[in-house]
Amino acid sequence: MAFNTVHFNLFLYIVVIVSNIYAGNHTSHFEAQEKLISKIVLNSDIRKEILPMANSSAPVLLRIKVGIRQIATVDEVNQALRLNVWLRLYWNNPYLTWDPADYGNITSVHLDNGLLWTPDISMYNKASLEEDIDILYTRLSTSVVLDYDGNCTWLSPATLLSQCKINVRRFPFDEQKCQLVFGSWTYSALKIDVDSAGADVKDFLPNGEWDVLGYPMERFVKPYSGIPYTEVALTLHIKRQPLYYTLNLILPCTVIATLAFLSFALPSNHGERISLVITVLLAMSVYMLIVSSTLPQTSDAMPVIGTYFLCIIVETALCLLATCFIAKIRDHESEIPKWLDKLVNKRLARLLFMSNAIEGYDEVPKLIKLNGHPKTVDISLNEVKLSDDTKTARSNHTTMQKLRDELAVLTNDVSMRQKREAKQLKWQNVARVLDRFFLLFFPLIFVVVTAAVFA
């Protein structure tokens, strides 16, 4: 029993000793960190305003690295790029150093950015929209990591809104290059030397509309009011994914445009032909408005899709003119010009394999007159042998004379009507041949224009 008591007391003694050592270490670490931070923030109101230059001839080296996180929006109308990034700023403050051995082997501390000097980094080409007008460094609210050798690291997420001149010439198959230019707002190159630490897309979230092709980051020196300033420019090279616009604009537009060509497949006397082409023309005008509303109001270049829609509108308008022309000439009763008859009913019809369709249209139906009367009328007084001496003969002669006169009038009317119908048939044949020609011509032009525009 006594033996167990001794072991139990020994166990309690060891536990107390270990607890005191552990608590002592924590207390010493806390005290060391408190002592270190107290030293750093001493007179911080003054120190944070002092530029940490080692000497008057050595500017502070500020290195900027940008982690591209996400392309939020590309505003074509306002020509602006909204980008979510992770900014990484690196510089050295030689006045904020310590020996880790004197402070419990503490090698780094996290400080509020208002307790030490931070660079007034800004984006020079920021798009000036109402909801985002603060200067860049005032929006970085994270802490600064300070190492024992004075190296400072400021990591912060940010949403950047930069100007981006949109080149709409190849829209929606376009590529854009947008620059984000960073530099100090008040310090010249003699005070702060801004340099590039590169950019990366390791944590990039894919965008449904844009692909990133490149992101070079370069350093430049530019004079402002005769004073040199250093700046770094991140050039974001992006390419649009055209699938959305192809399925929602180009493909429907192409299908609708082909409906106008089908009007030539309808009978030339069909009253809805003109209505069909006008409807297609209005639909194309609506698509043109949709495209113009998504692009900047600039005269620098005409977008490919705008050129395509404009060509289709012009071609549809020509289809409308051709349809109206065919509808007008179809019911003509005048004599067809010989050159037109030869050009359309002979040559063009033969080229379109329609020569059989005009057989019998080039001559008036066989009612050839003989001595002023149609040959088909076989009744002639010369063939009727009558005796002039009888009363019956005189009556028959009178009857036959009247019959001949009536037949002459009737056959004359029939002849005129057949001539008129023959002329109309020629005009109708012209309409049919032109329908066949335009049914082949306009789709061919449409294919050529499409290939030329998107080539």
Residue with tokens 């509108």: 313
Show Cβ contacts of residue 244 under 8 Å, excluding neighbours closer than 6 positions.
Answer: 172, 209
pLDDT at 386 (0 to 100): 45
What is the tens place of the pLDDT at every residue in 332-390?
767 778 887 788 778 888 888 776 555 544 444 444 444 444 444 444 444 444 445 55
Beta strand pairing status for 144-147 and 373-374?
Answer: unpaired
What's the chain's average pLDDT?
81
pTM of the model: 0.73
Selecting from 2.60.40.10, 2.70.170.10, 2.30.30.30, 3.40.50.920, what CATH number does the domain 60-240 have? 2.70.170.10
What is the tens place of the pLDDT at every residue in 274-290?
888 999 989 888 888 88
- Residue closest to 215 by CA, chosen among 158, 166, 176, 183: 176
pLDDT at 197 (0 to 100): 94
User: Which run of H or of E encompasses 240?
Assistant: strand 227-240
Which residues on neighbouring strands pair with residue 109, listed in sequence order?
146
**Backbone angle region of 372, left / alpha / beta, with phi > 0 → left and psi within -120 to 50 → alpha:** left
pLDDT at 365 (0 to 100): 46
- Residue closest to 242 by CA, chosen among 213, 215, 211: 211
- Residue closest to 116 by CA, chosen among 61, 191, 64, 40: 40
Residue-range domain boundaries for the chain? 60-240, 260-372+411-454
State the 10-residue block means of pLDDT for the chain, 455 residues long.
50 49 54 83 76 87 96 90 95 92 90 90 80 71 93 94 90 93 93 94 92 95 91 96 90 90 82 86 87 76 87 92 86 77 80 64 46 46 48 66 72 69 76 88 92 87
What is the tens place of the pLDDT at every residue in 182-202?
999 999 999 999 999 999 999
pLDDT at 328 (0 to 100): 83
Phi, psi of 240 (to 5 degrees): -80, 140
**Is 353 buried (19+), middle (13-18) or exposed (0-12) by CB count in 10 A?**
exposed
Tell me the C-alpha distance between 283 and 258, whole Å. Answer: 12
